Amino acid sequence: MTQDTAARAAEILRGHRESIDRLDAILIYTLGERFKHTQAVGRLKAEHDLPPSDPSREATQIARLEDLANRADLDPEFAKKLLRFVIDEVIRHHEQHQS
């Protein structure tokens, strides 16, 4: 590899990493906003004696996310695992609201 091609590759890598950093920030802020709403849902459920989890709502979301993932060129299995991970954390919060 010449010095020129190495410098060009380094520049391309830097550009990708800047984009990755911006997208990571979007992911974190988006998750923060999502958790604000789910915390409000958790308080509402606790006030009205509703169960922490809602499997039928989850099934609808998983089907929707699978479709979105396919359209976004994202592995649908990964998208489902990610949503499951997030929802499990939300349910844990809801259980804490009820105790």
Q: Which residues here bind ligand ISJ, judged by CB under 6 A?
A: 38, 41, 53-54, 57-58, 61, 86-87, 90-91
At its nearest, how many Å lie between ligand ISJ and the CB of residue 72? 18
How far is CA 23 from its chain centroid? Answer: 12
Rounded to whole angstroms, the Cα distance separating 11 from 95 reads: 48
At its nearest, how many Å lie between ligand ISJ and the CB of residue 96? 13
Nearer to ligand ISJ, 14 or 57 (CB): 57
Nearer to ligand ISJ, 54 or 66 (CB): 54
What is the three-class DSSP state of 12?
helix
Which are the contacts of 34, defined by CB distance < 8 A and separation ≥ 6? 86
